[in-house]
Structure formats: structure tokens, C-alpha cells
Amino acid sequence: MSSIRAIAIDSTHIEVHLPYDTAVETAEIKLDKLDIKGFKIDGNVIILTTSRIDIRSNYLITVSGRSDRVDISGLLESYYSSKPLGCIFEQGATTFRVFAPRASRIQLLLYARYDCEESTAHDMERDEEGVWELTLAGEIAESYYTYGVTGPQPAFDFYELDQIVADPYSKAVVSKDNFWQESKSIIVKPDNFNWGNDAPVQIKPEDLIIYEAHVRDMTMHSSCPVQDKGTYRGLVDPVPGGALDYIKQLGANAIELLPCQHFAKIEPPLNAKIGDLKFAWNVYERNHWGYMTTYFFAPEPYYSTDHTDLEHGTYSRPDDGHIREFKEMVKAFHQAGVAVILDVVYNHVSNYDLNPLRHIDKHYYFRLNERFDFLSNSGCGNDFKSERRMARRLIVDSVKYWLEEFHIDGLRFDLAAMLDWETIDLIGEEARKINPDVILISEPWGGGKYDLGGFSNRGWLAWNDLYRNGVKGSDPTQTTGFIMGDYYGADNQSSIEFYASGSLRESGGPFIEPHHSVNYLESHDGYTLGDFIRIACGAQQADRPVIDMQKNTLVAGEQLRINKIAALFQMTSQGTVMIHQGQEFARSKVIAPSDAEDPKVGYLDHDSYEKDNETNWLNYDQKVINRDLYEYYRGLIWIRKEFNAFGKIKRGDIHYLPLMQAPGMGFLISKDVSGDPYDFLVLINANRHETAEFQLPDGSWKALVNPEIAAQKPFKDEVNGTLTISPSSGFILVR
């Protein structure tokens, strides 16, 4: 039987949509807790005039035996407050504020210890803007707090039942290590952290060499010699061979950290059933990468020293020391000349724990369907309603807090296309007030939306998947790209030149400026570039386990050549460069043995989000095995940073050479336009089986990069006339 749909269109009118045209008598309409003062019918729509609707109540309407819950979400649009939220210290008093317009009651609960259940309760008062607040005079003896939230009455679903949650504006949180993640907010007083003369690392986007990395993975492997493994502090341990030393030696000048905002680390047990949902997909019961944010202002305590290992029933770090350690990490990176970019997730929140926003006001903060269930166009269980003014404010407040409090240099926004443009514009406006050179990067898709050009219009950088697919390919067994000798994603030679020039709008692309294009071939998602090439070359099959780990790790012959031309193409393209941790030595992600019963142990992994083990931990021994490739990357990075030709050139200043055979590419950049001491000639033969002959422009040329070495000064031997290049090989020549 078809149902009805009831929507509150203002505080005294409800619009009821019937599944048919009919005449309805007043006696056939039942509406609890509201008086019906009049109604009119227009086709299959009834307009009811009622007594005043209270958003803190839920209403059920029945028409001719069909019932529906009244949707009052439209009435929430007017609620907005500019008051500071969270725990605020003002004039010798402590004020607590939380925005919850539909709650019928909220109590502040204070605790002496993080692991005690006894609390001191204080009733909070609600103002007309939907903010509940309480001010306590003097010094508060307790160190932890939560909110006891009573939702709208009657409660119609699980998320409106009475619940105890931490503050969504918490600066630090202690959580119980289970999938519910019962949490208490830590009362964090202003600190006296000594930033010294610390300032943002001012690097122009076109000069960025971004190294995408995971805090824990960078130092957990036994091959990394740091003391505090898996931590913020360990990441910047200056010991030779440590992660910081490694990043500096490689030449990267920015690190993009996978999410470090407090997130839900533990997922429900395998095959557990909660409601109608059975958790049958995660044998590890972990969310390792961090894309399930719970607290947008609090650093993740799991990456601090003195944290506990994740064991069910234990607690994360019960003090705010991880705030200081995060600041120490940023300061150390800045002293090393490395910018810090934080990967942030505002398109959805954590899905299985006691996320405060979902329990404080599901209808305000989230996009819901007609049955009042969470929409999940993000694919993560819920979609954050960024277009709500207080939801937008939370995002912007969080961005400002991380820029001001933690001195980060920029942010990368996960599934950024799911955020509304007004929110995106406000983020940019407020972030640039704090740091005019702030780095703002979008993942420019999500929820069925895709708009690289929209972010470029706003001066944002965007991950360029067109570049990734055209150069590398999207599937190692079906759709490979230029480096494999194919033109997938690049219908012809001009498409390859288009990618190398910055995917510019003037050439039919999405970007206004070349540096808006973040050129990448590998990220945390999907196969590593090394594994993509292993599969595409037939050295390893995706559906079979690795038999010989040493043989799998080593890249030689054709694999090595293809890895090198991928690096050569990426480092000589106009745009912003990003590489993922280990790309520079063709890192292989082989699913490692663990306590979890994973039937895919030994297989190459293309989605290792749930594995806190050697599958993800960066094995620096692989760098030693593939030192040839690592040194090639180092040389190319030095060349890109040293010369203007690679990153600072307009499309019209690049002269592409006609090809005598495809697939390949050759282009000339004159010193007259670059200001460099050389004319540069980049030549790539992407054919895997045949040599290619290039006719060189007039004059004598020397190699700066040949198929074996990327050097810091030209080789002695001169070439002129024609140059024959072996399969899957490339050169940078200088004149």
C-alpha cells in the first residue's frame, strides 16, 4: 500500500501528499499533539493549518488509515548562533555550550576520572537559537565531561533515544577502545606551547613535492630506527634513517598526512548484527586509515606516546598530551622546511560509534531520505549536511582551529564535491585570512558529483584523476595508460601533451592554472604504482598470491623502465606533484599474516584501509632493494625543484616535437621563457617493444637524465641530429 508524505512548511502549516486524488473528511485525519484549525485539498495534496509546531517534538499524522512522521527539517533552517561552542574559559568561569535545537533536555555531566561512571549533573538552559549552555564559576575540580542528551519526544528511532555523548567541539577526547567508542571530553585549558618563531612554510603550489603519508605507517616497521614508533613524535625523530630524515633526503617539501582528527578506529566484530545490518566485510575489525572522523577539533590520541595499543575495553590516552605532541611534530617539520597538509573528512562522520552529531541531532546535521534514514551517497553510512548553517559553521570553525592552533599549512578535503559551494567558498575565505598562502586541495568528486573545474574557479587545487588514468591507467588488467604503451584516457597524442601541460581549460581541460592540477599516479586508494605495473607487466597476478617475496619486491628490466618513465613524466609535467609513501621505490603492498583470518594473505592489496600491520607499514628495506629507482626519483625531484621549466611554464611556451612513431612524447622548453641556464628537451618512448627515433633540434645536447640516472649536472657526452631511445625509456637533454 502506498504511503503518505507529511512536511511542515512553516510553524503552523503541514503539507500532506497522498498517493491518490481523493476527498478527505476532517474525521479521517489524526494528528497527535497538534490541533487542526483548518485544511484545504488540492488534488492529492492537503494543506493543514495547525497549532504551533514545536521542533522539540515529533508528530505522527494519519490520513485514511495511512500514517507518516511529520518532516519538520525545513523548520530548522532558521536556527543559527555565533556564540563560541564547546568548553570555553571566560573571566574566571567555565562555560559549556552545545548546539542542539531539537533536544528536549541536556545535562552537563562532570567526572573526576576518565574511567568512572559516577558524575555530577548540571541542567543546561536552551536559548532561542538552539544553544544549550551552562556557566560554572571558579576552578572546576573535574577533568572530564559529557552531555546527557534527551532527544525530541516521543523518540521515533535509535538516534533520538536518551544518550550520553562527548562534546562535538571537544579539543581532546578519551575513548574506550571498542566500536561504540564511549568517550569523555577532556577539559583542555589554554596551553603555553612555545612556537618560537614558527611560521607557515611558504611554498608556491607549483613548487610543491607532496608526500602522502600515514603517521603510524611511516615508522612502525622494524626497518625504521626511530624510538617512538607509530607516533607524531616518532615521525619527526631526527635519527638518521628515520622518517623525517628520509623525507628530507628524498627532497619532498610537503607531507600530506592521512586523517589525524580523532576517528573511530574499531569497527564491529565480524558477523555481528546490529539492527538489520550484518558486519560481514572486515575481518580486521579496524579502520586504520582514519576516514571515519568522530571529533573534528581533537587530534587522534592513538598516534601519541603513552597511548594504549588497541584492545577492546582499554582507553585511549586520558590527558591532552597528544595536543602538545602534534604541535611538536608540526614545528619540527617546519624547521626542516616541510609543509604539513592535513587530510580532513567533512563529508560524513563515523558510522558505528556514539558519534555526538548523529545522537545530538540527526535531522539537523545529516541528509536523510523520506523514511528519515541516513543517506549514504558517500558510501560511508551517512552524508553530512554541510548546507545547514551550523553544520557549515562547524566545518569552518574546525578548519580555522587547525590552522591557528596547530599551524598546519593546508588541508586536503576528502570527497570535497559533497560539500556545498557556499561552504567551500567560506572555507577558502576564512582560511586565507589566517594564511594567505594556505594550501587547499580537493578530492573533487563524491556522492555522484564530479567537478575539477569548480574547485579551480575558486583557486583550489584538485586531485587530477584524468591525469592519473591517462598516464597510468585505471585497471592493470583492462585499461592501462601511456606508460604501458597505451592511450587509455588519452585518445591520441594530443591528450598526452594536454596532461603534461597542466590539463588546462584553454586546451579544453578543467583547470585555469597548471598548479591547480595535482598530478598523481598513486595514492592511499588503489594499487600502488609499483603493483599496478607488476600486474600490467604480468610479473604478478591480482588473483593469485605472491610466491617469492624477494622477487616480487625487486623491480628490474621492463618493470624498472616503466617505473622510471612514469616518474619522468610526472616530474616534468606542469602542475603540482604528489607521490604516495613508497612510490619512489615501487613499494609493494602484500597482505601480511596477522591474527585476523584473512583468506587473501599473500595477495597484492588495492584497498588496505583496515590493516594496521606490515601490509601498510612502510618497509624501508624495499628502498635498499630498489635503490636504483629511489635514486632516480631523488634526482628528478632535485631537478624539478632546481629549474623553472618543470612547473612554472605556460602552455604556449612548451614546444612539442612531432613524433616519428607512437606512443611517445617530446617537448622543448627554451631558457628564454624559463629563465633557466639551459634549454630543456624531454623525450619519452612509451613503446614497450620497439625503439623510437627522435629528431633533435639544432645544436649539441647533453643528457641530464638518461634511462639509468637522473643527475644534478649534465653528462659529458654530447648528442646531436637524431637520438634512438630504447623501449620504455626517456631522457632529459640540455643545451
Q: Coil, strand, or helix at residue 133?
A: strand
* All three cell numbers of 299: 587530534
Q: How many domains does the chain have?
A: 3
List, in order, residues 6 or more apart from 673 with CB less than 8 Å away. Answer: 649, 650, 653
d(CA 659, CA 701) in angstroms, rounded, equals: 19
Let me know whether 69 and 95 are in one domain: no
- The CATH number assigned to the domain holding 116 equals 2.60.40.10
DSSP state of 153: B
> Do 182 and 94 share a structural domain?
yes
Q: How far is CA 179 from CA 98, 235, 518, in A?
A: 24, 27, 35
Sequence-ordered list of residues with C-beta below 8 angstroms from that of 619, at least 6 positions apart, any chain: 221, 223, 582, 587
User: Does one domain contain both 173 and 108?
Assistant: yes
Q: Which three cell numbers stand for residue 401?
A: 582551529
Residue 534 has pLDDT above 80, yes or no: yes
Same-domain status, 71 and 90: no
Predicted confidence (pLDDT) per residue in 23-57, tens digit: 777 668 999 999 999 989 888 899 999 999 999 99
pLDDT at 321 over 50: yes
If asked whether residues 90 and 167 sit together in one domain, one would say: yes
Provide the CATH number for the domain around residue 676: 2.60.40.1180
Q: How many CB atoms lie within 10 A of CB 91?
A: 7
What digits encode the pLDDT tens for the residues 663-674? 999 999 999 999
d(CA 317, CA 302): 7
Please give the share of the chain, as a percent, with pLDDT higher than 90: 89
Q: Which of 76, 100, 123 is the last residue of a domain?
A: 76
**Together in a domain, 99 and 150:** yes
* Local confidence band at 488 (pLDDT 50, 70, 90 cut-offs): low
How would residue 1 be classed by pLDDT, with cut points 50, 70 and 90? very low
CA distance linking residue 259 with residue 411, whole number of Å: 10
Query: How far apart are the C-alpha atoms of 330 and 436, rounded to whole Å?
Result: 19
Tell me: pLDDT of 2 over 70.
no
Overall size of the chain counted in residues: 735
Residues with Cβ within 8 Å of residue 346, at least 6 apart in sequence: 293, 296, 384, 386, 395, 398, 413, 414, 419
What is the average pLDDT across 586-613? 96
If one counts every other C-beta atom within 10 angstroms of the C-beta of residue 207, the result is: 17
Is the residue at 60 inside a domain?
yes
| φ/ψ of residue 642, rounded to 5 | -80, -35
Angle at 469 (CA atoms; ends 465, 475), nearest 5 degrees: 120
Q: How far apart are CA 289 and CA 615, in angstroms?
A: 12
Grid coordinates of 578: 604528489
Q: What is the mean pLDDT of residues 601-626?
A: 97
Q: What is the pLDDT of residue 187?
A: 96
CATH of the domain at 20: 2.60.40.1130
Q: In sequence order, what are the beta bridge partners of 439?
A: 410
Is 510 in a helix, a strand, or coil? coil
Are residues 162 and 109 part of one domain?
Answer: yes
Residue 658 has a pLDDT of 85
In a domain, 362, yes or no: no
What pLDDT, on the 0 to 100 scale, is given for residue 487? 67
Question: Can you give the residue range of the structural domain that contains 23?
Answer: 5-76
Report yes or no: 201 and 186 within 8 Å, Cβ to Cβ. no
The dihedral of CA 673, 678, 679, 684: what is its sign? negative
* Rounded Cα gap, residues 151 and 165, in angstroms: 12
Q: Are residues 90 and 175 in the same domain?
A: yes
pLDDT of residue 491: 53
Verify that 37 and 103 share a domain, yes or no. no
Q: State percent of the chain over pLDDT 70.
A: 98
Does some domain include residue 676?
Answer: yes
Residue 309 pLDDT more than 80?
no
pLDDT tens-place string over residues 218-266: 999 999 999 999 999 999 999 999 999 999 999 999 999 999 999 999 9
Q: Report whether pLDDT(662) > 80.
A: no
Do 16 and 70 form a contact (C-beta atoms < 8 A)? no
Query: Is the pLDDT reported for residue 533 higher than 80?
Result: yes
Locus of grid cell 622477487: 551
Q: Do 132 and 49 share a structural domain?
A: no
Dump pLDDT digits (tens) for 673-716.
999 999 999 999 999 999 999 999 999 999 999 999 999 999 98
DSSP H or E segment with residue 407:
none
CA proximity to 525, closest of 611, 612, 607, 412: 607
Same domain, 94 and 54: no
Q: Look at residue 102 and tell me if it is in a domain.
A: yes
Q: Residue 398: which region, alpha, beta or left (left: phi > 0; alpha: psi -120 to 50)?
A: alpha
Give a yes or no: residue 150 inside a domain.
Answer: yes
What is the value of pTM for the model shown?
0.97
Q: Which three cell numbers stand for residue 651?
A: 602552455
The answer to whether residue 10 is domain-embedded is yes
Does residue 434 lie in a domain region? no
Q: What is the DSSP string of 532-598?
A: HHHHHTTSS-TTS--S-HHHHH---HHHHHHHHHHHHHHHHSSSEEEEETTGGGT---BPPP-SS--
Q: Which three cell numbers stand for residue 221?
A: 616497521
Over residues 342-371, mean pLDDT: 96
Q: C-alpha dihedral over 713, 715, 721, 723, to 10 degrees?
A: -100
Averaged pLDDT for residues 136-143: 88
User: Do residues 94 and 175 share a domain?
Assistant: yes
Sign, CA torsion 204/209/212/217: negative
Residue 127 belongs to a domain: yes
> 439: which 3 cell numbers?
594550501
Q: When comparing pLDDT for 82 and 191, which is higher? A: 82
Last residue in a domain, options 186, 215, 232 = 186
Half-sphere CA count of 583, side-chain side, radius 13 A: 32
Indicate the residue among 49, 76, 103 that finishes a domain.
76
Question: What is the amino acid identity at position 5?
Answer: R
